[in-house]
Structure 1
C-alpha cells in the first residue's frame, strides 16, 4: 500500500518517484496541495482521512517513529481504517480533528495555537519537532466553514469561535495556567479566549500574537470575498481591554507604518503588552523554514520569561 500512496504523492507533486519515507512538505507540498492530496487518497482508497493527519504528532508505525506526512504513515492509517471498517460493518471514522496534537511530549505548560482566517492550522506543524520549542504543542483549526451539502453555516463570530475552541482545549487541559498563541486573525480569537478564561477565573500565563491586526488596521477590501467569513468576523469584533501578559511578534517585511500602527493599537488594548518584537520574514515566511526556528526560539524565550508555573 505504501507504493500506491507514494504514487499519489508523485502524481500530485509531478515527481518521477517518491519514497515511502519522503515527507510531503519537504517535497514541495503546502496547505492547498495537502487538501488535494488527502482528497485523492480518500478517493483512491474509499477512506475518510482528515487533512489534519498530515501534521499531527510523529506517528508510530511498527514500533518506529515516522513523520505523519509520508506514504508509510498514511498507508498505516489506511490499513487501520480498513480494519476498523470491517469490524464496524463498513463504517469509517469521519470525525474531524479540530484539536491537533503536534507534540504531546515535552516539558512545561502546553502551548495552544489558534488558526488564521480560513480555519487551517497546518502551518503550525513547522513549530513541532525542533530543538527549541519542546513543550507540549497543540493547534486548533476550524472546519465549520466547510459544508458537504454545499450550503455554508451561518457566519461565525469571534466570541463563538473562542467559546468553541476553549471547550476543545479544556478537554485536554481542564484548568490553567494556559498559554495561547494566535497567528493573523487567530490573534483575535486567542485574545477572546484569554478574555473568556479570565472571566471564568482561570489563569492565562501568556497571550502571544503573531503578526496580528485589529479591525482598524485591516485593508479596506477585507472580507469582500464570499469565502472570507473569518475576515468579516474580525471586522465585526469589538474587543475590550485585556490586562493579562501579552507578547506581539511582527514580520519584518510588512509595511513599517502598518506595523507601527498595529503595535500602538495593541498596546492601548493590552496595557501589559511587552515591547513588540520584529522578526525576519513576511506574514507567511516567518512561520516557514528556515525562519521558523528563529520564531520558535523567541516564543520559547517569551514563555520562559513569563515564568508560568505548571500544574
Structure 2
C-alpha cells in the first residue's frame, strides 16, 4: 500500500478514517470503494473544512482518493463531474462501461467499485449536453446517443470484448449499444440491465400518450424538488440544474417508444420488486427476452426502481452483478 505523503494527504486520510472507520488508508484508495456514499461524502467534506481544507462534495466525487483530493486542494479544486466520459477506476484491460440514466449523470455507478474486481477498469458515460459552452451537445434521438457513446467507448477500448451496464434508461442505451457493436463485428461479453424496461407502456397507446403529455413534466418537477435536498445535486449552480432537468425530459421522451434491435447473447436483468406489480415485472422480463437472443438471467431484489440508481444500494445486488461480469472475463 502506498501510504499518504505529506501533511495535506495525511490530514485527508485522517478525515476518511474518522468518517468511515477504516484503519489502513492508501493514498490511491477510493473513498467510495472503501464504503463511502453520498451522506458519508457530506460528513467528509464537513470534517475537511474543520481542518481548513475547503473541499466540497463535488470534489470528493470528482477526486475520490486521498492523492486526488490533495491535488484538488493544491489546484484550487476542479470539476470533471459533467464530462461525457468519466474514469471511475483505471485498472487492467477488462473494462465495464456504465450508461447514463435519464438524468444524464452516471456517478451513482461509483457503488459498483466495491464489488467489481480491482483489475477491472470502470467508466461512466454521461450526456454531453451537461457540459457548458460550445462543448454541450443535445442529442435528440436514440441513434444519435448510440453513435456518440460508441465513439467514446471505442476511444478508450477500440475493440471488445465489451462489458455494458445500465440502470433504467441506461439499460435501454446499453442494449442499443450492444446491438450496434454486434453490427460492427465486435463481441459484447456481458450486458447488465438494472431494472430497465424495453417498452414502458407496452401495447397501451393511451398509457404511452399519457406518459408523454403528463409523466415527463411530473418527473421533471419531482427531480427539481429532489435536487434541493440531494447533497451533490444541490451544490450545482442553477444553470447546471436546469441542464439536468432538460436532459431528464429529453431522455424520458426517448425512453417511451419501444426499444428496437437485438442483443446477440445473454443478459443479466436485476429487477426491482418493491412497489412493482407482479404482472409488470413479468412484462418487463418478457420484453427483454424478445430482444435478446440468449438467456435473460433475472435476479429480483427487494428495492424500488429508483433505489437501484443509488450508489449505496449496490450492497444489495452488487455481488451478483460482479460475479456475472467476472464469469465472462475469465
Query: Does TM-score exceed 0.5, indicating one fold?
Result: yes
| 1:296 aligns to 2:323 (yes or no) | no
Secondary structure of 2:163 counterpart: strand
TM-align CA RMSD: 4.0
TM-score computed with the length of structure 1 as normaliser: 0.68
| 1:167 aligns to 2:173 (yes or no) | no
Per-residue CA distance 1:163-206 (angstroms, 9 max, x = gap): 21122222221111001011110011111111111111111111
Aligned residue in 2 for 1:28: 39
| 1:80 aligns to 2:75 (yes or no) | yes
Q: Which has the higher contact order (CA 8 A, sep 6+)?
A: 2
The answer to whether the 8 A contact 1:180-1:194 is kept is yes
CA 77–135 in structure 1, closer or farther in 2 if over 3 Å, else same: same
Structure with more of its chain in helix, by fraction:
2
| 1:266 aligns to 2:277 (yes or no) | no
| 1:59 aligns to 2:45 (yes or no) | no
The answer to whether the 8 A contact 2:112-2:311 is kept is no
CA 223–169 in structure 1, closer or farther in 2 if over 3 Å, else same: same
Aligned ranges 1:272-291 → 2 under 5 Å: 272-286=294-308, 288=310, 291=313
CA 113–273 in structure 1, closer or farther in 2 if over 3 Å, else same: same
Among residues 129, 135, 158, which one is paired with 2:114 in the alignment?
129
How many corresponding residue pairs?
Answer: 261
Secondary structure of 1:293 counterpart: helix
CA 155–114 in structure 1, closer or farther in 2 if over 3 Å, else same: closer
Per-residue CA distance 1:137-169 (angstroms, 9 max, x = gap): 4232324333657xx854522221122112222
Secondary structure of 2:69 counterpart: helix
Secondary structure of 2:148 counterpart: helix
Secondary structure of 1:276 counterpart: strand
Among residues 103, 111, 118, which one is paired with 1:118 in the alignment?
103
| 1:241 aligns to 2:262 (yes or no) | yes
| 1:252 aligns to 2:273 (yes or no) | yes
| Distance in structure 2 (CA, Å) of the matches to 1:175 and 1:52 | 32
The answer to whether the 8 A contact 1:133-1:297 is kept is no
Secondary structure of 2:254 counterpart: helix
Per-residue CA distance 1:218-275 (angstroms, 9 max, x = gap): 7834434573111112224641233222221111214122211111111111131323
Aligned ranges 1:167-246 → 2 under 5 Å: 167-217=151-201, 220=211, 221-224=214-217, 225=220, 227=246, 228-236=249-257, 238-246=259-267
Per-residue CA distance 1:95-126 (angstroms, 9 max, x = gap): 953222222236x7221111100111111111
The answer to whether the 8 A contact 1:251-1:279 is kept is yes
| Distance in structure 2 (CA, Å) of the matches to 1:266 and 1:258 | 13
Secondary structure of 1:233 counterpart: helix
Q: Which moved more, 1:248-257 or 1:137-146?
A: 137-146
CA 96–50 in structure 1, closer or farther in 2 if over 3 Å, else same: farther
Secondary structure of 2:300 counterpart: strand
User: Which residues of structure 1 form unaligned runs of 5+?
Assistant: 7-17, 38-44, 62-72, 83-91
Secondary structure of 2:319 counterpart: helix
Aligned ranges 1:9-28 → 2 under 5 Å: 19=15, 22=19, 26=37, 28=39
